[in-house]
Structure 1
Amino acid sequence: MPQHYGQPSCFDKVKFGVMIGFAVGMSSGALFGTYSAFRMGLRGRELLSTVGKIMLQGGGTFGVFMGIGSAIRC
């Protein structure tokens, strides 16, 4: 099993930034998406569909920006 003793590579840092950004964007999308969907009066399947879309959009957007920020810091 290979051991990693040095610093993580720039690609590893960017990948980690994207993953963290995606997780943060998904969680904020869940909070704001649920609130927004309830305010629109959605229930059931429409609620889940709308919240899911908002979560993916938030995760993707924030993940891209965190990846770019991590790449700049390399």
Structure 2
Amino acid sequence: MTKAASEIPVAVGPYGQSQPSCFHHMKMGFVMGGAMGMAAGALFSTFSCLMIGMQGRELRGIIGKTMMLSGGTFGTFMAVGMGIQC
């Protein structure tokens, strides 16, 4: 016996039959870029601040600000890049 064309099983992905929207791609780009930017900001600012001799509260404040700044900047660029790719 053969199956009719309407009876052939179709693979369903994690998003069902539809593809993720362009907004979803941009959102994921921002999140990935933000995470990478924050990690890079933490590494570079920690190294730079320790090289000039910062300590304590000042060190933590500068590292936090640099992480947020680099995460936001890189996340924005990644979101724009993903939007262009859509």
User: Hey, which bits of structure 1, 4+ residues long, moved more than 4 A?
Assistant: none
Larger Rg: 2
CA distance in 1, matches of 2:73, 2:21: 23
Q: What stretches of structure 2 of length at least 5 have no aligned partner?
A: 1-13
- Alignment map for 1:1-74 (pairs within 5 Å): 4-5=15-16, 6-74=18-86
Q: Deviations over 1:16-51 (max 9, x none)?
A: 000000000000000001001101210000000000
Q: May I ask how many residue pairs the two structures share in their alignment?
A: 72
* Aligned-pair identity (%): 49
Q: What stretches of structure 1 of length at least 5 have no aligned partner?
A: none
Q: Whose helix proportion is higher, 1 or 2?
A: 1
Which structure exhibits the higher relative contact order, with contacts defined as CA atoms closer than 8 Å and separated by 6 or more residues? Answer: 1
